[in-house]
Amino acid sequence: MLEELLAALDDDQRAAVTAPLSNVLCIANAGSGKTRVLVHRIAYWILKGQPEDSFLMLTFTNKAANEMMGRIKNLLGKEQVKITGGTFHSVAVRLLRRYGGAVGLRHNFQILDSTDAAGLIGVCREKVCADFDLSRKEFPPKEKIASFYSYCRNCSITLEERNEQISEFSEGTLRLIADTLVPDYEARKKKMNAVDFDDLLIYFDELLGNKGILRMIHNDFPNVFVDEYQDINSLQNSIIHKLAQGVNHLTVVGDEAQCIYGFRGSEVEFIQRFQDDYGNAGVFPIRNNYRSTDGVVDLALSVINQSPDYADKKKVMLANKHGAVRPELFMLNDDDSQVRHIYAEIERTHKSGTPYSEMAILFRTGFLAKKVEAELTARGIPVCMNCGISFYERAHIHTLLDYLKLLANPGNEIAFWGLFETVDGIGSKTAKKMFEAFDKGGCDFDKLSELKGPKRAVSSMASLISAILEGRYQRDIVDRIDVFMNTYYKYAMMRLFKEDYEKRMGDIKILKKAVEPFEHVEDFLENITLSAVEDTGQGDRVLVTTVHKAKGLEWDKVILPYMNDGVYPHYKCEEREEERRLLYVAITRARESLTLMSVQWSPFLPREGHGELSPFLEKAGIETRYTEPEEYRQPQWAGFSGKEYRRPQRGGF
């Protein structure tokens, strides 16, 4: 069986898979079979006698964890394996449920998803504005505060240190956030018996600081594997370092050229200094690219090897596919000309036999995609826009989840607010009174019925309270959903979502199907909070998304608009070389065909809209074209600009 396992690997992969049980770093190029190496190494050493339950596998997405588990089962010919694997957060929850008391966590803590966490920060923000008589327009929005605070926690730095780096807030605003808002946020979470995503990692790291517990974890998991190692932040690095102390071996897989999540705290230095941190570590390059044609590989290398990080030793990536079509760069006048070219490329590619689902348009930022998505849709191109919304983040679904969260934990303040925001005719003053009654009444919803207000609001509120009270007596999750829908929410949805009510009701059916495997609502809520994945729902449509969202994916045809300075690198970027790596990731999403486009003017560009080619492409050696097909300059394109194409001249028009 071992011979069969190794026969499917190339020389680089085989060397990494069979390396001795010690600290190992696999530098896996884009399209090189990174996942294959990781799962084959685990399967190899299980077949060599290592117990299945001795392996701990850490990933960044549940999709990756599930895929790896499935592959390992197939390699071992088993329906089940005893490997412990999942995201950093899911593994943290598993251990904190067992040992959380050692770090002061109460039993049955609830997990706030990112929407709930931002919502709670919003409540704290409102209080700060009210207490200090501040304009809500002048104080930073909750999303900005949440992102700022999260970054600091994941990078183990203070709010003051971060503000010195990027000058996000004024000194006075920062003091209010640090001294008033953040303590209030932490106190409210404690009162709710809730933790956010960042808390999970902070508590996990703290737990591993307990020598007794760490010893038990080491005994349980002497073999630790980490996927996408280039994406770790300071907090995750600390967790890995503690897990690796005293274990038989640590294997990490990654590619420093694909470190693109600096906005979340990822630092490329961690993978670069792996050998220093884990002495005598073996380093195994996985050089073959099985995804992209030689033209795409050549372009990717020409971009990344201009980086100072590769000044001493150039990156090597070997293409195993040869394509007749080389990547092309089109120099275009403006946004309208770019849309015409995108349309032409999609139509030409589709007519040649490529399904729409095998095409993607990747943007540096989501707002750049809106015009393209709208124009293509108007021209009859089936488009799937995916710049971040997931099934469980949809407004009508999240409200229903708020209902389940409140049943599971009557002290969940954010769930309370989420529900009562749907009450017809309710204003901010009435909402405040309702919450005060709720809070003072010790979660006694009967007290809410004593409140007075507009008839419409009172009627809606009474229906909602009835649904909450009745829901408490239901054990089955589907029955609880039915109570909520029939007693209150079906009628609220008719009012809130008139235009697509039936479609949203279809989503409710999907949700009811999703809860069926779960006996307890707490288990369901924890599962979706930790496992929520983006719902692309692509079908046979062209995917329009961001490069960050596209990492780990691939298509036959990829189009990269706005290859401009100010976009690559972004004019607000903190780290120029991360922007180069982002372009490298974008290029390597393409299997067969890659088209890049640059515009000479756009209102979306800095420097008064005048566009220059991205400096990352100036020495890339890519074929540049200045012509536009004649048929896409005709009057029938009146929906676009109608401007005649002109060859761009240096210095603008």
49 pLDDT band, cuts 50/70/90, is: very high
Q: What is the reported pLDDT for 427?
A: 61
Query: Does residue 92 contact residue 390 with C-beta atoms inside 8 Å?
Result: no
DSSP at 567 = B
Q: What is the reported pLDDT for 450?
A: 60
Dihedral-angle region of residue 644 (phi above 0 means left; psi in -120 to 50 means alpha; beta otherwise) = beta
Distance CA 616, CA 303 (A): 6
Examine the pLDDT at 52 and tell me if it is beyond 90.
Answer: yes
The 3-state DSSP composition of the chain as helix, strand, coil percent (nearest 5) reads 55, 15, 30
Tokens (6 digits) for 652 = 């603008």
Instruction: Kindly state the average pLDDT of the residues 528-548.
Output: 76
Q: Which of 595, 567, 616, 13 is nearest to 295 (CA)?
A: 595
Question: What number of other Cβ atoms are within 10 A of residue 61's Cβ?
Answer: 16
Instruction: Kindly state the average pLDDT of the residues 61-74.
Output: 92
Q: Which of 358, 323, 361, 321 is nearest to 341 (CA)?
A: 361
Instruction: Kindly state the average pLDDT of the residues 247-253.
Output: 87
Distance CA 260, CA 231 (A): 7
Q: What is the reported pLDDT for 57?
A: 96
Distance CA 602, CA 333 (A): 9
Examine the pLDDT at 85 and tell me if it is beyond 90.
Answer: yes
Instruction: Kindly state the average pLDDT of the residues 516-521.
Output: 92
Pick from 154-163, 304-313, 371-380, 588-597: least confident: 371-380
Angle at 272 between CA 161 and CA 41, to 5 degrees: 125
Q: Which of 290, 288, 525 is nearest to 405 (CA)?
A: 525
Question: In terms of C-beta density within 10 A (0-12 exposed, 13-18 middle, 19 or more buried), how is residue 68 classed?
Answer: buried
Distance CA 550, CA 365 (A): 12
645 pLDDT band, cuts 50/70/90, is: very low
Pairing mode, strands 555-560 and 359-363: parallel
Q: What is the reported pLDDT for 538?
A: 62
Instruction: Kindly state the average pLDDT of the residues 152-161.
Output: 96
391 Cβ partners below 8 Å, 6+ apart?
A: 397, 507, 510, 532, 535
542 pLDDT band, cuts 50/70/90, is: very high
Percent of the chain whose pLDDT exceeds 70 = 89
Examine the pLDDT at 633 and tell me if it is beyond 50.
Answer: no
Pairing mode, strands 288-293 and 318-321: parallel
Examine the pLDDT at 68 and tell me if it is beyond 70.
Answer: yes
Which runs of E-coded beta strand occur in 49-190?
A: 55-59, 84-87, 110-111
Sequence-separated contacts (24+) of 60-63 with Cβ below 8 Å: 60/87, 60/88, 60/227, 60/228, 60/231, 61/87, 61/533, 61/552, 62/86, 62/87, 62/90, 62/530, 62/531, 62/533, 63/533
Q: 358-415: per-residue pLDDT in tens?
A: 999 999 998 888 888 888 988 899 988 875 467 888 889 999 999 999 999 888 888 8
451 pLDDT band, cuts 50/70/90, is: low
Examine the pLDDT at 16 and tell me if it is beyond 90.
Answer: yes
Q: What is the reported pLDDT for 651?
A: 33
Q: 576-627: per-residue pLDDT in tens?
A: 999 999 999 999 999 999 999 999 999 888 877 778 999 999 888 888 887 5
Distance CA 229, CA 225 (A): 10
Pairing mode, strands 24-28 and 55-59: unpaired
Query: Bridge-partner residues for 289, per DSSP?
Result: 319
Pick from 186-195, 313-322, 416-425: least confident: 416-425
Q: What is the reported pLDDT for 367?
A: 84
Q: What is the reported pLDDT for 138?
A: 87
Q: What is the reported pLDDT for 320?
A: 93
Which runs of E-coded beta strand occur in 366-475?
A: 383-386
479 Cβ partners below 8 Å, 6+ apart?
A: none
Residue 136's identity, in one-letter code, is R
Distance CA 395, CA 70 (A): 33
Instruction: Kindly state the average pLDDT of the residues 292-304.
Output: 96
Q: What is the reported pLDDT for 639?
A: 42
Q: Which of 74, 79, 82, 25 is nearest to 55 (CA)?
A: 82
Q: What is the reported pLDDT for 636?
A: 40
Q: Which of 335, 258, 309, 236 is nearest to 567 (CA)?
A: 335
Q: How far is CA 324 from the centre of its chain?
A: 35
Burial 331-356 (b: 16+ CB within 10 A, else e): bbbbbbbbbbbbbbbbeebbeeebeb
Distance CA 263, CA 575 (A): 10
Examine the pLDDT at 290 and tell me if it is beyond 90.
Answer: yes
Distance CA 434, CA 585 (A): 50
Query: Does residue 215 contact residue 247 with C-beta atoms inside 8 Å?
Result: no
Burial 87-111 (b: 16+ CB within 10 A, else e): bbbbbbbebbeebbeebebeeebbb
Q: What is the reported pLDDT for 644?
A: 35
When the pLDDT of each residue in the chain is averaged and rounded to a whole number, the result is: 88
Examine the pLDDT at 280 and tell me if it is beyond 60.
Answer: yes
Instruction: Kindly state the average pLDDT of the residues 462-478.
Output: 89
Examine the pLDDT at 449 and tell me if it is beyond 60.
Answer: no
Examine the pLDDT at 533 and tell me if it is beyond 50.
Answer: no
Pick from 65-74, 156-165, 531-540, 589-598: least confident: 531-540
- Tell which wins on pLDDT, 368 or 56: 56
Which runs of E-coded beta strand occur in 79-178?
A: 84-87, 110-111
Query: Does residue 602 contact residue 370 with C-beta atoms inside 8 Å?
Result: no
225 Cβ partners below 8 Å, 6+ apart?
A: 38, 41, 42, 55, 56, 57, 58, 250, 251, 252, 253
Examine the pLDDT at 539 and tell me if it is beyond 50.
Answer: yes
Q: What is the reported pLDDT for 329?
A: 95
Q: Find out whether the peptide bond into 569 is cis, omega within 30 degrees of 0.
A: yes
User: Quick one: three-class SS letters along 512-539?
Assistant: HHHHCCCCCHHHHHHHHHHHCCECCCCC
Query: Bridge-partner residues for 384, per DSSP?
Result: 543
Q: Which of 3, 217, 212, 15 is nearest to 102 (CA)?
A: 212
Distance CA 247, CA 577 (A): 34
Dihedral sign from CA coordinates of 542, 548, 553, 556:
positive
Query: Bridge-partner residues for 557, per DSSP?
Result: 359, 593
Tokens (6 digits) for 529 = 């909070």
